[in-house]
Structure 1
Amino acid sequence: MTRPNNRPDAVVLGIESSCDETGVGLVGLHADGSVELLADAVASSVEQHARFGGVVPEVASRAHLESMVPMVRKAFADAGLRPSDVDAIAVTAGPGLAGALLVGVSAAKAYAAALDRPLYGVNHLAGHVAVDTLEHGPLPSPSLALLVSGGHTQLLLVEDVASSITELGSTIDDAAGEAYDKVARLLELPYPGGPPIDAAARRGDPTAIAFPRGLTGPKDARHDFSFSGLKTAVARWVEQRQAAGEPVPVDDVAASFQEAVADVLTAKAVRAARDHDVRTMVVSGGVAANSRLGRLAAIRCAEAGIELRIPRPRLCTDNGAMIAALGARLLAAGAPASPPDFGADPALPVETILL
C-alpha cells in the first residue's frame, strides 16, 4: 500500500498491554478513509518470563507500569507529534491478563482525561485484524481472518472490523503458539518457542515423522482446532527415543511438528473461506510470522483463488499500532466513545469490538 504523504485529518493513539508487550502506536486517518502508521513503540518483557517458560502475570503487570510512559514518549518523538495533536485514544480492554490490561486501561483513561479526547476501549483480537489495513488498505467485506498466537487460534468472519466479527471456529485446548512453546521446551529450545522451532525446521525434514493432524476427521468440527494431541504425540516420540538411548533429531522433530500445525491451520482456513464464499484471507497474530505457515497459506490460497494478506512480522505480534488502527476505523465510522467507567475484561468475546 502506498502511504499518503499529506498530513492526516486525525491522529489516533493506541495502547496495548494485554500480555507481555507494552505497545504504543500512532495512526493517521485521512479524509478518504485511508490510514497510515506514524509510530509504533514496543517494549517487551519476554526475557523476564523466559526463565519461567511462560508469561508470569505479576511480572508482566510490573513491566507495563515501568514501560508505559517511556513508550508513549517514544511514540510521540518518533512521529514528531505532541500529545495535543491526538484526536482520539484507543486501548485494549480485553481479552488478556487482568492486571496487565488494567495498566493500559488506567493509562489510557488518564491521557484521555488530561487531553479531553474520546476514548475507545477495544477488543485485542479485532485489533489483530485491523492492523492489516495499515499494510494492505481497507478489508473487503466479507473477509476471513485466521488469528494465530500464543493464546488464541481462531477463524473469524469479518463483515466490518469496526462493527461485525463472528467467530467461526477456535481451539478447544492449546493455542498453536502455546503448542510451539511446549514443544520447544521438550526439544530444549529457547522460549518463546516459535522462532527457534521455525529456525530448526528449516534444517529438518517435514516428512520425517508422521505426527497427527487434530480434528481433521470426517466427523470432527469443520472449523475448530486442537493441538493438545499433537503436543502429546511429540512428547511421546521424544520420550521413546530417549528411553531407547537414541539421539533426538531436533531439526526433523521441529520440521515435522511445524508441518502438522501449518497443514491444519491452512486447510481449515481455506475450508472456512470456501464455506462462506470469502475471497480475502488475513493471517495475523504472532504465529503469522512463521515461515512455513506463510508459504503453505500462499500455496493453498492461490489454488483456491483467495487473496492472502499477511502483515509484516512486527505488526503480527502484539503492538499499539493495531489498537490505534482499530481506533481509527471506529473514529471514521462515527462510533460513540466508551463510557468513562468501562473496565478491563480478561474474557472479552471477539464479537464485542467496542465497550
Structure 2
Amino acid sequence: MIAHLPALQIVLPLIAAPLCVLLRTTRLVWLLAFAVTVASFGIAVELYSQVLQYGVISYAMGGWAPPIGIEYRVDQFNALMLILITAVATVVLLFARTSVAKEVDQRRQPLFWAAWLLCFTGLLGIVITGDAFNVFVFLEVSSLSTYALIACARDRRAITSAYQYLIMGTIGATFILIGIGLLYMLTGTLNMADLAARLPGVTESRTLKTAFVFIVVGCSLKLALFPLHLWMPNAYAYAPSAVTAFIAATATKVAIYVMLRFFFTIFGADFSFGAMPLGQVLMVLSVIAMFSGSLVAIYEQNVKRMLAYSSVAQIGYITLGISLATTTGLAAGMLHLFNHAMIKAALFMAMGAVVYRLGSCRLDQMA
C-alpha cells in the first residue's frame, strides 16, 4: 500500500467526486469530501516522511518506466506543496459546510462538492506529476472545476466573474500547452527529468526560446502576475467564501510551483535567468504589482476585492524573491508563499463569517 501512495493521492479524491453526485444527501456528501480530504492530508504527510527517509520517490503509472510512461515524482519541495494543499483544504472544509449552505442553492450542493473534489484532484495532480503534458491535463481539471465552483454562488455576478476567469484561464492554459508542444517537438519527450537532460544541448534553438516565452506568459496568467491579474478581483469577490478561501490559498500557489518547476528543473536557472532576461522582467513586474496592488486595495470599499488586490501585491513579493535566482531569494519567496496561503485563507474565511453576520462585505456598511 505504501508503494502506491503517490497514485492514491490522486485516485482517492478522483473516485470520490462522482460519488458526491450519486449520494445527493448534503450531509453525507460533505462527510465524504471531508473524509477524503483528511485521508489525502495523511497521505501527503506520509509521502513527506518517506522522502525525508529514502529520498526522491518515483512512481511509474501502469508499470511503464519513465520516460516512456507517466511518472509521479515526489521530492521535498512538492511533498511540502502537497501538505499545504491538503492542510488548507481540510481547514477550509470545516468552514465550507456553513458557506455552502448559505451561498449555494440546495439542488446544486452535490454538484458543488463533486467540483470541489475535482479541483482538489487537479491541484494535487499538478504538483505530483513528473510529466509536462500531465501538468496541462491536471491544470485543466482544476481550472474547469474552479470555474464551476465560482459560478455556483447565488449572486448572479458570480457567473460573469466565472466567465471572465474562464476566458483568461483558457488563454493561459493554451499558452502553456503550446510551450509544452514546442518542447516535445524539440526533444521528443514529455518527462520532466528527461526534458531537463536533453535541453542543455539545444539552448540556442529559437524553438526553445519561443517555448519558454509561451510558458512564462501562460504561468503568469494563472498566478495573476501584474498586468495579467484582471480576472482575480471579481472571481474572489463574488465566489462563495469557502471557494475564495481555498483557491486564494492554493490555485495561485500551485501556478507559482509550476513556474518554478519549468524555470529551475526543466529549462535550468542558467538558461532562464542567463540566456533569457527573465530576472529583470520578473523583477520589474513584481515591484509594480507590489505597489499597484497595495494602492488599489487601500481605496477599495469591497473587502473581498481589497483582499484580492492585496493578493496581487503579495504575489509580487513572492515573484520578486524568485526573480533574484539566488538561494536566499528563493527561500524568502517560498516562505512567503506558505505564509500567504495560510493567512489569506484565514482572512477570507473570517470575511465570510462577517458577511453572514452583517449581510455585507462593504466597509461603508460595516461601520
Q: Same fold (TM over 0.5)?
A: no
Flag the structure with more relative contact order, 1 or 2, with Cα contacts below 8 A and sequence separation at least 6.
1
Larger strand fraction of residues:
1
Q: TM-score, normalised by structure 2?
A: 0.28
